[in-house]
Amino acid sequence: MDDILEFAIQCVLESGKIQRKYFGKRINIRHKGTIDLVTDVDMACQDKIISLIKDAFPEDEIISEEKKNYFDGNKNRWIVDPLDGTTNYAHGYPFFCTSIAYEEDGLITLGAVYNPIFKELFYAKRGGGAYLNGKKISVSKIGFLKQALLSTGFPYDVPTSKRNNIENFISFIYEAQAIRRDGSAALNLCYLAAGRFDGFWELKLNPWDMAAGLIIVEEAGGMITDFKGNKFSIYKDEIVASNGLIHKDMLNILQRNKSNWSE
């Protein structure tokens, strides 16, 4: 295994130890917005990961959800979500993870995602395939939207913004077999890579929500674009991911609701 990938895995496992230690216990919870939370566990995980990265890769840039970020295009970059699924964590719902990706020359080259409650470690390196706990994974073979299990999420400004994914959600309810909304984009993408979901879409996400999941899905044989079918970027806020077989049908549904497209 690549040394950098091994290091990313070490980081998510160390973060998972912190999450598991305090899960279900009384923790301090603060509000970044009306429904957007941050906890002491988010901060402890982030501090641990940043400390490890700075010791091992002092020249690299780090962007992470709970810090002020500056982007330097000339540096390799660690993209960190210390606790994806904070609201779940705060409520004792065991669907959350740590997500870490590595970007070199503008390209995501590896990623690792870990759920410490289910003890599921997803990881991938470009050109090397995608894995769950050491076993190679691949996307599903479902070829019809009506047989597909999809996943999605809603932005934090859903009560106040017209671009809130609700119209898309309603449209897919009628066209897919079922939809799940469980509060962690990183894990949703990993579940897609493992064939548990057949498609995923969301809007208004951040790079740390998508970066590791991006390469895990791609290395598992999946497809990712924006809502228009164009090349995907973690620095834009639309994502459609699928097994490839239902991708065109998903795009057709999203094109009905252009009010939810980015400008």
Q: pLDDT tens digit string along 126-140?
A: 999 999 999 999 999
Q: What is the pLDDT of residue 74?
A: 76
Q: What is the pLDDT of residue 36?
A: 56
Give the residue carrying structure tokens 């898309």: 168
pTM for this predicted structure: 0.94
Q: Is residue 108 over pLDDT 80?
A: yes
Q: What is the pLDDT of residue 257?
A: 82
Strands 135-137 and 130-132: antiparallel
- State what percent of residues in the chain have pLDDT above 90: 81
On whether the CB atoms of residues 183 and 87 are closer than 8 A, the answer is: yes
- Domain locations in the chain? 3-137, 145-260
Strand runs labelled E in the chain = 29-31, 37-39, 61-64, 77-84, 97-104, 107-115, 120-125, 130-132, 135-137, 149-151, 178-180, 199-203, 223-225, 238-242
Strand runs labelled E in 91-222 = 97-104, 107-115, 120-125, 130-132, 135-137, 149-151, 178-180, 199-203
Tens-place pLDDT, residues 26-66: 777 776 656 456 789 999 999 999 999 999 999 999 999 88
Residues 6+ apart with CB under 8 A from 230: none
Tens-place pLDDT, residues 137-171: 999 999 999 999 999 999 888 888 888 999 999 99
What number does CATH give the domain 145-260?
Answer: 3.40.190.80
Q: What is the pLDDT of residue 28?
A: 76
Give the residue carrying structure tokens 């503008």: 106
The number of beta carbons lying within 10 Å of the beta carbon of residue 147 is 12
Residues 6+ apart with CB under 8 A from 51: none
CATH 3.40.50.970 is the classification of domain 3-137: no
3-state secondary structure of 147: helix
Q: Is residue 261 over pLDDT 90?
A: no
